[in-house]
Amino acid sequence: MLADVLPYLRCPVCHGPFGADDAGRTLRCAARHSFDVARHGQVDLLTGRVPHTGDTAQMIAARDEFLRAGHFAAITSGLVRAATARPHPTGPTAGAAPLVVDAGAGTGFHLAAVLDALPDGVGLALDISKAAVRRAARAHPAAAAVRCDTWRRLPVADGCADLLLNVFAPRNGAEFARVLRPGGTLIVVTPLPEHLGELVRALGLLGVDPAKEDRLAATLDRHFAEVSRRTVGDRLTLSHRDADAVVQMGPSAWHTAPAVAAALPDPVEVTVAVRLTTYRLR
């Protein structure tokens, strides 16, 4: 719920803390910058010119359908194992409800799974897509959703997050380091070259950039030390509907027609292959 994460939110204009009006429908800082809370509980803290608007409603709907069907269960399980294996908090924040931030949360599906495994935790889903934050606001009773650009300064207080998730999403290393508390954990999921390779080759989809690992290192190495990494893999048997959903939920949706999977065998065998890496602050 938004009230649970309100102490951790910051005004995107002046970076001051927020209060809420009596009805809980408006967030307002001491400088009187105000932001309305939407019907489902999400709040839009995006300011200024927006160079991109994120995933469309159709992309988010496809992602919701695909994830709810359990096709990426191996990835979700890997995230949950890494989240629950992290060190327990020490120092001033020990005993407080852990804050889990998901940067580029999409529908909030993975965040909800992690919160299920951390029953005392509260979650904050961040995404630039309006459709995403609408769904993420309802993903879990202990989660709130905020629209923002994760390439910019995050509307989150310094040193407040115990755990930060980043699943197939942009990585802002400096901001991740700023919002994580000392001893906090960052978990990053990135696709390997063979991820969904059967669909990439058959349909001419966007593949994984060979320089992706180098870019990841350049983004994070200044701020984080790698603790562990593991490969998560699975083999899926997808119907045409499922194959179309996985195509339409990702970046290939921008240049691929719907129902493109009709050219494939039904069902089609597809590889899941990702790297799950855990980091700590340097």
Asked if the model's pLDDT at residue 91 lies above 80, the reply is: no
Residue type, 98: P
Confidence bin at 86 (pLDDT 50/70/90): confident
Handedness of CA 61, 66, 68, 69 (dihedral sign): positive
Q: Contact, 151 vs 126, CB < 8 A?
A: no
Rg (CA), the chain: 19
pTM for the full predicted model: 0.93
| Cα pseudo-dihedral 153, 104, 117, 96, rounded to 10 | 10
Give the containing element (helix H, strand E) for 79. Answer: helix 73-84
The angle at the Cα of 212, spanning 128 to 145, to the nearest 5 degrees, equals 20
Average pLDDT, the chain: 91
The confidence score (pLDDT) of residue 89 equals 54
Angle between helices 109-117 and 73-84 (to 10 degrees): 40
Give the pLDDT confidence of 141-175 residue by residue, as tens digits: 999 999 999 999 999 999 999 999 999 999 999 99
The confidence score (pLDDT) of residue 6 equals 94
Strand ranges across the sheet with 18-20? 18-20, 26-29, 34-36
Bridge-partner residues for 194, per DSSP? none
Give the pLDDT confidence of 190-229 residue by residue, as tens digits: 999 999 999 999 988 877 777 777 777 788 999 999 999 9
Residue type, 128: I
Distance from C-alpha of 24 to C-alpha of 156, rounded to nearest angstrom? 19
- Report the candidate in 101, 6, 55, 44 with the shortest Cα–Cα distance to residue 248: 55
The confidence score (pLDDT) of residue 22 equals 67
Determine whether 119 is exposed, middle or buried from the number of CB atoms within 10 Å of its CB (0-12, 13-18, 19+). Answer: exposed
- Any idea which of 21-30, 33-42, 204-213 has the lowest mean pLDDT? 204-213
DSSP letters for 80-102? HHHHHTSPPP-GGGTTSPPEEEE
